[in-house]
């Protein structure tokens, strides 16, 4: 399976590069990421909970970045396995300057293989799920950077990402750093994440946490909605659902 | 009166329909533990290490075992069917193992067994079993598998070739040299799964006080499994009771014996001293239960100028999956069934079985016959087109005649005897089928009218023969009890076919009792411990004739005893209405129950040379299989935009010899056709290049529903088999076998206005694939369509 796409971030390339190299940022960025720790130079190990259709499970795995050419490109290799199967991916991530250096377009191009139950049962949702996960991850990165920029008084505003030429979406619900949910998650403290942080980071103000599974599910549904329902059909579909609910209510109260 | 030949109501149905029948999952025992298997997510990967410590530490987990923990019990399974005695053949036996050791050869291969207080706990613990994998390139495509340098499924072999068998009849090269036409094509028939409504399951209970093991198992072969388990576990056969209770569909994958789960669960129950249950879930079933039917045929037919067959040559590859425990039954069936109901003076066929990193292939309803029928029927259709003669006419010209029987084909069949057709009469079968489908009227009136209205409608008709009712033997014990009721026990298993009814009909006829008064037991090794199982459309043929023989022996005993008691000659007595009575004076009668008591005295002496009781055990072993035959026809409609197919009418005319129960035969045919339609049009197991199955759920693997299966009209023809006294032949697989070529022919007919030269050379089809074929044929002038271009 080919996993490819691009995402625009309203931050300069070196800032994006640093974020992508930082397990603390990545662990909050990757949807479902429960743990990510540095195991070597450009090598990380961690755990990720992934839900593809009816198959949901935790994957333990590794992430290796090699052939680093800062701030332009690197080779990425990931491998994970869990009770519902395994996933591997290998390919290139390329950072392209845009807007005269004020923004960056992240291009990713991975060859992925999944196996076991996740391949057998989740196949039909795999493609769209992978796209949604990648987009959510990069949107999460955008928020991380925005939060960092705001709190550190940097130049980058709370710009929104632009993924695969889709119209820019407004910032997500309670995922800002001030949300109680985010604060609580962060307060609960994840040893591995902190252990993996650089000294500079540990003094930095708290950044938004990775989405909780509820938030992830909500965003997954939203992602599917955007993927699958064309804008022109949305009012109709909502209207139809509302009508159906009214009919059911009427039938129940009759 | 005779019960045989009547549509007696199924005596098992009250229990089945009111939910009182016992299935394996209904077995619940005190202290029972539940098992879960950790399976490979890789199609081909080396196992560097397995760490089960975290799983073992979970509360509620009784045990976690891997291959290394099995000790001497770890052995590859036995070869279930030895290779056929064909000169020059090769066969490499590589049977499945209880738990993978060293490497996994297919997705779903079990690596570890977790036994816990509940299935939930067992599965949770299974998630904690850590495996260090080294993925290897997978062997998926059959031709790539045989290419030099291909990765090896079994590294101790030089290649992935599992077997090679070459069989010949006559001189094909000479026949070809003298042929006016030779038609050569490549055909492909891909994998599906039987998808029985009940998955597999095993419950094992070691009763330490009785020193006995009881196993409930969804097997189609209860007696061989009992014998095998006893040998593996070092027990006497009489210490093992194997019960195959009611089973929700067998279809062949349950005749595969000594599945890993079947071997490991009884061992675990003995080790733990507690009953252990494992029930396969649907996801597991897509990997862990055997499948069928990828073959690629390069076949040609040589004909004279009139369209008479001079010879057929075929080279084919057979996908046997990761292991080959069932020997060569499936490809041998393909090889032998290809000849069909036709005069084929010369035949030259060679197949190579190929190991791949896919689930194991063993017989599934049809068991290779589908492929043979597909190839010969397609060759005839294409030849007819090339010669410009009618597709039915080419069949009529080549049919074997009734006076040709027995027909010797000089090649070895799956029962290791030379393939011989015992009986048949094919032309009337075809004519009855055409009559019922309304062939002429459809082509003359309906099709032109509907085509003029823009509809795509087509009709098809194909023929087949199938070897059924093979040996080696089955046995039965028949007993009249003191109540006057009759007990019949046999060693076959039953999976819904109606054995309880048909075996009761046979015994009732002999003993002059009502069918309701005959109690039938199958599949319990404590009741009868000789038998081979239910497969190859043989239950009613082989066990039926054994019941006939046993019931007749009891009848003779009863007549002799009654004659003695009434002071008349045995010839003057008859059995009727549950009693023995004097023919000339029916008022003089002794109820069967009283005779049974008299035959089993508590005092006095049983005369030397006689046996007590109104009981007898008899066996029947046919010399060879009986040849059933049939013709299928259908009318179907194709939506020109979506390529969706609707089967509007479906007719089967079937000859299974003497009909024992027409309703049961029709039920078998209906179910077979439904499975055949699924196979031809809906079901396909899709594997990627890494050997991953991509549609392992009923969301993506489509089974036919009531909306896809039309009403099926069944006609019967009875050409009794001379090979058994009942004169019957098997009927279990007939419905499923010829649906593929029938779909292909009818689709070509329906699509003729759109693409006159369309050739369909692959099964299964689906709307998207049909659309591709149509587009390719439009672009390339017809014959170029197909994933596999003609060789």
Strands annotated E in B498-613: 518-522, 573-576, 579-582, 585-591
Query: What does the block give as tokens for A235?
Result: 């009012």
Q: Quick check: B695 and A123 CB within 8 A?
A: yes
Give the three-state DSSP class for B784.
coil
User: Is the CB of residue B682 less than 8 Å from the CB of residue B698?
Assistant: no
Per residue, the 3-state secondary structure of A173-236, as one string, reads CCCCCCCHHHHHHHHHCCHHHHHHCCHHHHHCCCCCCCCCHHHHHHHHHHHHHHHHCCHHHHHH
DSSP 8-state assignment for residue B342 = B
Contact A121 B697 (CB under 8 A): yes
Question: What ipTM was assigned to the predicted interfaces of this complex?
Answer: 0.81
CA distance A7 to chain B (A): 29
CB-based contact B762:B786 (threshold 8 Å): yes
Task: Please report the pLDDT score of residue B781 as a whole number.
Answer: 57
Chain A residues within 8 A of B688 when measuring between CB atoms: 119
pLDDT at B747: 98
d(CA B478, CA B327): 35
The reply to whether residue A115 touches residue B41, judged by beta carbons under 8 angstroms, is yes
Nearest-neighbour CA in chain B from A119: distance (Å): 6
In angstroms, the separation between the Cα of residue B675 and the nearest Cα of chain A is 22
Q: Judge whether B743 is closer than 8 Å to chain A, CB to CB.
A: no
CB A28 within 8 A of CB A210: yes
**B690 CB within 8 Å of a chain A CB:** yes
Integer Cα distance of B785 and B791 in angstroms: 13
Chain A contact for B663, CB < 8 A?
A: no
Distance, in Å, from the CA atom of B777 to the CA atom of B84, rounded to the nearest integer, reads: 41
Rounded to an integer, what distance in angstroms lies between the CA atom of residue B624 and that of residue B565?
42
pLDDT tens-digit profile of B740-790?
A: 999 999 999 999 999 998 999 999 999 999 999 999 998 875 443 334 433
For chain A, the residues whose C-beta falls within 8 A of a C-beta of chain B are: 54, 57-58, 81-83, 85-86, 88, 113-121, 123-124
Task: Give the β-pairing of B240-243 and B33-39.
Answer: unpaired
Beta bridge mates, B116:
B34, B61
Interface test with A, best of B288, B685, B697 (most A CBs within 10 A): B697
Q: B694 touching A, CB under 8 A?
A: yes
Specify the pLDDT at position B224.
97
Asked whether the beta carbons of B429 and B402 are under 8 A apart, the reply is: no
Q: How far apart are CA B346 and CA B303, in angstroms?
A: 11
Phi, psi of B216 (to 5 degrees): -100, 130
Task: Give the three-state DSSP class for B119.
Answer: helix
CB B277 within 8 A of CB B117: no
How far CA B773 is from CA of B185, B471, B777, in Å, comes to 16, 43, 6
Is the Cβ–Cβ distance between A57 and A47 less than 8 Å?
no
Residue A178: the pLDDT is 35
B interface test, pick of A84, A116, A125 with most B CB neighbours within 10 Å:
A116
Task: Kindly determine whether residue A115 and residue B133, on different chains, have CB atoms separated by under 8 Å.
Answer: no
Three-state SS at A77: strand
Q: How many CB atoms sit inside 10 A of residue B533's CB?
A: 24
CB contact under 8 A, B692 and A81: no
Which residues of B, range 44-83, sit inside 8 Å of A by Cβ? none
CA distance B148 to chain A (A): 25
| Strand ranges, E, within B612-770 | 614-620, 626-638, 645-655, 712-716, 762-763
pLDDT tens across B408-447, in order? 999 999 888 899 999 999 999 999 999 999 999 999 999 9
Cβ-Cβ contacts under 8 Å between A and B: the total is: 59
In Å, how far is B165's CA from the nearest CA of chain A? 34
Which two structure tokens, joined as six digits, stand for A169?
């979406």
Distance from CA of A47 to the nearest CA of B (A): 13
Instruction: Count the residues in chain A.
Output: 254
Q: Considering only CB atoms, which chain B residues are within 8 Å of A125?
A: none
Could you tell me which of B119, B107, B125 has the C-alpha nearest to residue B65? B125
- Give the number of other CB atoms < 10 A from CB of residue B632: 30
CB contact under 8 A, B693 and A82: no
- Residue of B58, B59, B76 whose CA lies nearest to B67: B76
Q: Indicate yes or no: CB of A81 within 8 angstroms of CB of B283.
A: no
Chain B closest CA to A80's CA: distance in Å? Answer: 11
Token pair for B318? 């057979």
Contact (CB<8Å) A120/B133: no
Distances (CA, A) of B594 to B28, B411, B576, B589, B598: 39, 54, 14, 10, 6
**CA gap B16, B26 in Å, rounded:** 13
B52 CB neighbours in chain A (<8 A) are none
Residues in chain B with CB shorter than 8 Å from the CB of A82 are 127
Minimal-distance CA residue of chain A relative to B38: A83
Which of A116, A123, A124 is nearest residue B41 as measured by Cβ atoms? A116
**Paired strand residues for A96:** A105
Taking contacts as CB-CB distances below 8 angstroms, the residues of chain B near A81 are 41, 131, 133
B132 CB neighbours in chain A (<8 A) are none
CB nearest B690 (choices: A54, A115, A124): A115
* Residue B324 neighbours by CB distance under 10 Å: 29
Quick one: which of B27, B46, B205, B34 has its CA closest to B125?
B34
Residue B24: phi and psi, rounded to 5, are -60, -40
The candidate with the shortest Cα–Cα distance to B154, out of B104, B217, B83, B190, is B104
DSSP 3-state of B157 = coil
Are the Cβ atoms of B41 and A113 closer than 8 angstroms? no
Q: How far apart are CA B84 and CA B353, in angstroms?
A: 14
Which residue of A54, A82, A120 is in closest CB contact with B693?
A: A120
Give me the phi and psi of B384, to 5 degrees please.
-60, -40
pLDDT averaged over 10-residue windows placed end to end, chain B, 791 residues? 91 94 97 98 97 97 98 97 95 98 98 98 95 96 97 97 97 97 97 96 97 98 97 97 96 97 98 98 96 97 97 98 97 97 98 98 96 98 97 98 94 90 97 98 98 97 94 96 97 93 97 96 96 90 96 96 94 96 95 95 80 95 94 97 96 96 96 96 95 94 93 96 95 94 98 94 96 92 43 33
How many CB atoms are located within 10 Å of the residue B504 CB? 27
In chain B, the largest separation of any two C-alpha atoms, in whole Å, equals 91
DSSP state of B658: S
Nearest by Cα to B338 from B304, B378, B293: B378
The alpha carbon of residue A227 is apart from the nearest alpha carbon of chain B, in Å, by: 20
Q: Report, as ranges of residue numbers, the positions in chain A whose pLDDT lies below 50.
A: 152-161, 164-205
Residues of A within 8 A of B684 (CB-CB) are none
**CB within 8 Å: B694 and A117:** no
Contacts with A86 from chain B: Cβ below 8 Å:
41-42, 133
How many CA atoms lie within 13 Å of A162's alpha carbon, on the beta-carbon side? Answer: 12
Alpha helices in B438-497 (DSSP H): 439-441, 447-452
Residues A208/A182, Cβ–Cβ less than 8 Å: yes
Contact between B489 and B523 (Cβ < 8 Å): no
Return the structure tokens found at B216: 């409930």
| Candidates A85, A86, A124; nearest CB to B700 | A124
**Min distance B162 CA to chain A CA atoms (Å):** 26
B41 interfaces chain A, CB cutoff of 8 Å: yes
Which among A57, A81, A120 is the nearest to B283, CB-wise? Answer: A120
From the list B42, B123, B286, the residue facing A115 with the nearest CB is B42
Q: Nearest residue of B to residue A84 by CA position?
A: B41
Structure tokens that stand for A95 in this block? 């950072």
Please state, in angstroms and rounded to a whole number, the distance separating the CA atoms of residues B325 and B256.
8
A66 to chain B, minimum CA–CA distance in Å?
A: 21
The pLDDT assigned to B641 comes to: 93
């Amino acid at each position: 399976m080919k996993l490819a796409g691009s995402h625009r971030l309203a931050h300069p390339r070196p800032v994006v590069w640093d974020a992508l190299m930082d397990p603390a940022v990545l662990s909050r960025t990757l949807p479902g990421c429960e743990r990510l720790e540095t195991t070597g130079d450009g090598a990380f190990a961690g755990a990720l909970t992934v839900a593809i259709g009816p198959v949901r499970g935790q994957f333990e795995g590794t992430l290796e970045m090699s052939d680093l050419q800062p701030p332009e490109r690197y080779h990425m290799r990931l491998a994970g396995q869990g009770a519902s199967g395994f996933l591997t991916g290998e390919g290139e991530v390329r950072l392209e300057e845009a807007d005269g250096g004020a923004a960056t377009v992240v291009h990713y191009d991975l060859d992925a293989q999944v196996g076991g139950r996740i391949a057998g049962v989740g196949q039909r949702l795999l493609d769209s799920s992978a796209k949604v996960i990648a987009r959510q991850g990069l949107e999460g990165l955008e928020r991380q950077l925005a939060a960092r920029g705001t709190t550190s008084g940097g130049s980058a505003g709370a710009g929104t990402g632009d993924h695969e030429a889709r119209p820019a979406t407004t910032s997500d619900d309670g995922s800002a750093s001030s949300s109680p949910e985010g604060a609580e998650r962060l307060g609960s403290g994840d040893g591995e994440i902190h252990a993996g942080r650089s000294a500079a980071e540990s003094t930095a103000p708290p950044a938004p946490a990775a989405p909780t599974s509820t938030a992830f599910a909500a965003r997954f549904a939203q992602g599917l909605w955007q993927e699958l329902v064309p804008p022109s059909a949305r009012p109709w579909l909502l209207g139809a659902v509302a009508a159906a609910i009214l009919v059911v209510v009427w039938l129940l109260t009759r | 009166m005779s019960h045989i030949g009547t549509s007696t109501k199924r005596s098992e149905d009250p229990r089945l329909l009111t939910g009182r029948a016992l299935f394996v999952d209904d077995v619940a025992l005190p202290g029972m533990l539940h098992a879960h298997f950790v399976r490979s997510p890789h199609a081909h990967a080396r196992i560097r290490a397995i760490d089960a410590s975290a799983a073992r530490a979970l509360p509620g987990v009784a045990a976690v075992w891997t291959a290394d923990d099995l000790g001497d019990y770890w052995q590859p399974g036995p070869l279930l069917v030895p290779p056929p005695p064909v000169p020059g053949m090769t066969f490499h036996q590589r049977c499945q193992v209880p738990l993978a050791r060293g490497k996994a050869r297919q997705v779903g291969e079990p690596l570890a067994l977790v036994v816990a207080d509940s299935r939930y706990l067992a599965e949770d613990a299974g998630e904690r079993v850590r495996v260090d994998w080294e993925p290897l390139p997978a062997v998926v495509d059959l031709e790539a598998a045989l290419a030099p340098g291909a990765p090896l499924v079994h590294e101790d072999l030089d290649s992935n070739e599992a077997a090679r068998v070459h069989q010949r009849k006559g001189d094909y090269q000479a026949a070809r040299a003298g042929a006016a036409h030779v038609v050569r094509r490549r055909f492909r028939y891909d994998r599906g799964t039987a998808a029985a409504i009940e998955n597999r399951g095993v419950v094992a209970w070691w009763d330490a006080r009785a020193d006995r093991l009881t196993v409930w198992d969804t097997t189609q072969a209860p007696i061989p499994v009992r014998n095998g388990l006893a040998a593996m576990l070092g027990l006497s056969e009489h210490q093992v009771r194997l019960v195959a209770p009611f089973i929700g569909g067998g279809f062949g994958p349950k005749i595969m014996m000594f599945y890993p789960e079947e071997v490991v669960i009884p061992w675990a129950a003995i080790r733990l001293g507690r009953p252990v249950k494992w029930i396969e879930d649907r996801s597991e079933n897509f990997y862990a239960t055997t499948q069928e039917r990828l073959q690629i045929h390069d076949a040609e037919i040589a004909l004279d100028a009139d369209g008479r067959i001079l010879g057929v040559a075929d080279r084919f590859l057979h996908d046997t999956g990761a292991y080959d425990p069932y020997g060569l039954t499936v490809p041998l069936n393909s090889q032998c069934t290809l000849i069909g109901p036709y005069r084929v003076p010369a035949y030259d066929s060679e197949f190579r079985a190929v190991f791949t990193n896919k689930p194991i292939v063993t017989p599934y309803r049809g068991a290779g016959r589908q492929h043979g029928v597909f190839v010969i029927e397609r060759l005839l259709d294409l030849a007819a087109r090339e010669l410009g003669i009618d597709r039915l006419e080419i069949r009529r010209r080549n049919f074997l005649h009734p006076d040709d029987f027995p027909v010797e084909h000089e090649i070895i069949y799956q029962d290791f005897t030379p393939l011989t057709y015992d009986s048949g009469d094919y032309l009337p079968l075809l004519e009855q089928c055409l009559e019922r489908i309304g062939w002429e009227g459809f082509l003359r009136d309906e099709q032109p009218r509907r085509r003029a209205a823009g509809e795509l409608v087509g009709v098809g008709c194909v023929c087949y023969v199938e070897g059924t009712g093979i040996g080696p033997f089955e046995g039965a014990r028949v007993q009249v009890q003191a109540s006057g009721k009759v007990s019949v026990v046999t060693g076959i298993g039953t999976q819904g076919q109606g054995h309880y009814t048909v075996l009761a009909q046979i015994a009732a006829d002999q003993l002059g009792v009502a069918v309701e008064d005959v109690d039938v037991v199958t599949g319990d090794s404590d009741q009868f411990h000789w038998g081979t199982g239910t497969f190859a459309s043989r239950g009613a043929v082989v066990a039926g004739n054994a019941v006939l023989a046993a019931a007749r022996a009891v009848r003779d005993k009863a007549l002799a005893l009654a004659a003695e008691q009434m002071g008349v000659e045995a010839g003057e007595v008859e059995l009727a209405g549950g009693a023995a009575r004097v023919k000339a004076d029916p008022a003089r009668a002794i109820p069967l129950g009283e005779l049974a008591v008299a035959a089993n005295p508590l005092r006095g002496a049983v005369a030397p040379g006689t046996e007590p009781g109104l009981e007898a055990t008899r066996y029947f072993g046919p010399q060879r299989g009986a040849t059933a035959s049939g013709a299928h026809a259908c009318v179907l409609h194709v939506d020109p935009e979506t390529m969706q197919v609707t089967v509007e009418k479906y007719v089967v005319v079937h000859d299974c010899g003497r009909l024992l129960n027409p309703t049961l035969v029709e039920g078998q045919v209906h179910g077979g056709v439904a499975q055949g339609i699924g196979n031809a049009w809906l079901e396909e197991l899709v594997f990627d290049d890494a050997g991953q199955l991509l549609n392992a759920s009923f969301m993506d693997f489509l089974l036919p529903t009531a909306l896809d299966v039309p009403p099926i009209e069944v006609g019967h023809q009875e050409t009794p088999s001379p090979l058994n006294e009942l004169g019957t032949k098997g009927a279990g697989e007939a419905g499923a076998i010829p649906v593929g070529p029938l779909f292909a022919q009818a689709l070509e007919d329906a699509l003729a206005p759109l693409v006159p030269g369309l050739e369909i050379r692959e099964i299964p089809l689906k709307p998207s694939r049909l659309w591709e074929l149509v587009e390719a044929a439009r672009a390339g002038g017809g014959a170029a369509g197909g994933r596999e271009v003609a060789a």
